[in-house]
Amino acid sequence: MKILGLSAFYHDSAATLLDEGEILASSQEERWTRKKHDPSFPIHSIKFCLDKMISIQNSKLSYQSALKQINYIVYYDKPFLSFERLLETYLDYAPFKGLHSFRKSLPLWLRYKLNIRASIKKALRKHFHLSKKEVPQILFNYHHLSHCASAFYPSPYEKSAILCVDGVGEWATSSAWIGEREQVKPLWQINFPDSLGLLYSSFTEYCGFKVNSGEYKLMGLAPYGEPKFVSLLKENLIEIKEDGSFQLNKKYFSYSFSSQKMCSPKLYELLKKASRKKEEDLDIHYLDVACSIQKIIEEVLIKMAKNLFQQTKLKNLCMAGGVALNCVANEKILSKTPFESLWIQPAAGDAGGSLGATLATWHIYLKKPRVVIKPDAMKGSLLGPSFSSQEIEKILIEQKTSYQKLTEQELIDQVIKEILEGKVVGWFQDAMEFGPRALGCRSILADSRHLDMQIKLNQKIKFRESFRPFAMSILEEKIEDFFETQNSPYMLMVSYIKPNERKNEAKLSQAKGLKKQKILKSSIPSCTHVDYSCRIQTVGKQAPARFRKLLWKFYEKTNCPGLINTSFNVRGEPIVCKPYEAYRCFRNTDMDSLFIGDFFLKKEDQKETLTDFYTKNLEKD
């Protein structure tokens, strides 16, 4: 039994293939099209899933023949209910507000979103030359049920509470469930327009960042400020109840009736300052606003989780939805609620909805039993494409690169040599990760012990704001040497540096704003945030073997068990997918070296100038 799950037409389109309950492949469309958060029909991701199936079968099937083996295609959302929300919201604000937004969005709904079934059939017939009868049966899943299924079914728990929090599904913005074996039962939900995700996105916009991609920046900015606006915001914007339910004051927001703006001018009046313009300097006001809204989000989530524990009395919690990517809040949930264990879907956003849709179909619609897999069923989230040594070398030859082919031990030794010299290396290995985090396969690596490495990486490699923090990949066996936390294999938790490893606490407490950035905070300063937290990836035995060997070798040389690990991309681009994209990123930045499969490339050995490289590849961008 093969099930193909799809998310599309909103943002973060993706496809997932499930075979007899096993996750075979998952991929986000942006990685193939190079358009960040691409909402288009995920044709490239579907082809990858079919390629994976064909490869496993060791057959030479055409895509057309492979699709005929698919029993069900399931979409992650109920579009008619979403359209109902759109209409009702417009009627609430008509005729004075929302008309422009409604008129702009209506053609898109009529053409694609309202009849998703027809859109899917049309796309499949066009790309795979299928007849009407050859298109597999198409099913639809509720949006928050897709999130719920993606959180619970791959988790290591037989029984668990489940919390899903995002912007909005059809109507739901937050929902709570209980999962046991193959059953999930809804407990409660909060509906649009009361939304934690949209609240956070509104302040993302207010602080001058892009909605649906800048929320990470807001979270990273928060520790530089102080929670000066918490009382003001709670008195005016949001009413929070003890059970975690909440109500937003709609006059401060525009997202209900505008596709252009999230914030109302009333918010600017309340905060006594207009929203920050893109690329404008970050003064202390916006730092304090970021800190304040982060604290409010944490308070609501903690109360939600406490209430959910009181309802279920379960020790385990699973989470999904875009808000579950807030790794700072996740740590607070685990440390400040009675839950003993927390598992978060690594592709917690809408891309992961394609996965949840397949699992809900398998266990709920088809009533198939569930087998709990340890440490989880996500296969390390390495569900994307991988490339053979022959495929990589062919591309390197085509690009006229200068490279060396090394044994695995030679490769690891060379990486360590480069890193110990203070260099920044690209690391392209194994299968691409599914989800927004690089987990040691599509990564940029550097030495976390250098104070200036954070600024160097941000400015010369990632081309982004200097305040953005970096994660640390650390050997699971050595985490207690530095941190106080449970395992975090998918980089979805922060942990705090142990007191004995902290430095300059008095100096840091006296510093204000972005001046905190240049203060030495620990022995791993480039991964230590200004509140002594660090986003971590614990690298255990289920992680890629080559990456584990690299970390162990670094530990042997330095007595430090971790490296900076940031995603292999530059600002505004998706994480690299193919070898050529890794090479292009390597050439277009100040990255010093590239380790791609079995091959080692040094920047100074490349013959072409950077200008020549840009010019020759302009058409491919």
Q: What are the φ/ψ torsions at residue 14 (nearest 5 degrees)?
A: -160, 165
Q: Which two tokens stand for residue 222?
A: 């928060």
Residues 6+ apart with CB under 8 A from 177: 148, 152, 161, 162, 163, 164, 184, 185, 186, 187
139 with 202, same domain: the answer is no
259 with 293, same domain: the answer is yes
Model confidence band, residue 489 (pLDDT cutoffs 50, 70, 90) = very high
519 with 393, same domain: the answer is yes
| Residue 620 reports pLDDT greater than 50 | no
CA of 84: how far to CAs of 50, 53, 88, 218, 353, in Å? Answer: 34, 37, 6, 32, 21
Residue 340 lies in a domain: no
143 with 229, same domain: the answer is no
Does residue 95 have a cis peptide bond before it, meaning omega lies within 30 degrees of 0? yes
Residue 111 lies in a domain: yes
For 541-596, how does the pLDDT look when each residue is reduced to its tens digit (9 = 90+)?
Answer: 999 999 999 999 999 999 999 999 999 999 889 999 999 999 999 999 999 999 99
Which of these three, 284, 311, 338, is where a domain ends? 311
Q: What are the φ/ψ torsions at residue 319 (nearest 5 degrees)?
A: -140, 150
371 with 413, same domain: the answer is no
Closest CA to 572 of 209, 294, 263: 209
> Which residue's entry shows tokens 């840091």?
508
SS3 of 208-260: the string is CCCCCCCHHHHHHHHHHCCCCCHHHHHHHCEEECCCCCEEECHHHECCCCCCC
211 with 246, same domain: the answer is yes
List the domain range (segments joined by +) for residue 597.
Answer: 389-620
* DSSP-derived secondary structure for 367-407: -------SS-SSGGG--S----HHHHHHHHHHTT---EE--
103 with 205, same domain: the answer is no
Residues 6+ apart with CB under 8 A from 325: 215, 216, 348, 349, 436, 492
CA of 22: how far to CAs of 14, 48, 370, in Å? Answer: 17, 16, 10
Strand 72-75 to 2-7 pairing: parallel
**Domain of residue 605, CATH code:** 3.90.870.20
Determine the pLDDT at residue 254: 86
Residue 114 lies in a domain: yes
Alpha-carbon distance 25 to 32, whole Å?
A: 15
Alpha-carbon distance 172 to 291, whole Å?
A: 26
Model confidence band, residue 297 (pLDDT cutoffs 50, 70, 90) = very high
Determine the pLDDT at residue 412: 98
Model confidence band, residue 261 (pLDDT cutoffs 50, 70, 90) = confident
Closest CA to 163 of 364, 14, 345: 345
For 335-346, how does the pLDDT look when each residue is reduced to its tens digit (9 = 90+)?
Answer: 999 999 999 999
The helix (H) or strand (E) run that includes residue 599 is strand 599-602
Residue 274 lies in a domain: yes
Determine the pLDDT at residue 513: 87
Closest CA to 318 of 475, 471, 165: 165
DSSP state of 136: P
Determine the pLDDT at residue 614: 44
**Domain of residue 47, CATH code:** 3.30.420.40
410 with 480, same domain: the answer is yes
Q: What are the φ/ψ torsions at residue 427 (nearest 5 degrees)?
A: -130, 105
Model confidence band, residue 460 (pLDDT cutoffs 50, 70, 90) = confident
Average pLDDT over every residue of 507-532: 90
The helix, strand and coil proportions of the chain, stated in percent and rounded to the nearest 5, come to: 45, 20, 40
For 83-140, how does the pLDDT look when each residue is reduced to its tens digit (9 = 90+)?
Answer: 677 777 666 655 556 555 656 666 665 566 678 898 999 999 999 999 988 999 999 9
Residue 160 lies in a domain: no
Alpha-carbon distance 529 to 170, whole Å?
A: 37
Alpha-carbon distance 286 to 221, whole Å?
A: 9
For 430-443, how does the pLDDT look when each residue is reduced to its tens digit (9 = 90+)?
Answer: 999 999 999 999 99
291 with 267, same domain: the answer is yes
| Residue 603 reports pLDDT greater than 50 | yes
Strand ranges (E), 238-314? 238-240, 246-248
Between residues 573 and 466, the one the model is more confident about = 573
For the chain, how many structural domains are there in total?
3
Closest CA to 521 of 472, 558, 476, 457: 472
Average pLDDT over every residue of 289-302: 98
Alpha-carbon distance 199 to 174, whole Å?
A: 12
Kindly tell me the sign of the dihedral angle through the C-alpha atoms of 8, 444, 566, 437. Answer: positive
| Residue 621 reports pLDDT greater than 60 | no
Alpha-carbon distance 83 to 143, whole Å?
A: 13
424 with 525, same domain: the answer is yes
- Amino acid at residue number 273: K
Average pLDDT over every residue of 223-228: 96
Alpha-carbon distance 216 to 220, whole Å?
A: 6
Residue 167 lies in a domain: no
Which of these three, 279, 311, 343, is where a domain ends? 311
Give the mean pLDDT of the chain.
92
125 with 196, same domain: the answer is no
22 with 149, same domain: the answer is yes
Cβ of 377: how many Cβ atoms within 10 Å?
A: 17
Determine the pLDDT at residue 196: 97
| Residue 619 reports pLDDT greater than 50 | no
220, 279 in Cβ contact below 8 A? Answer: no
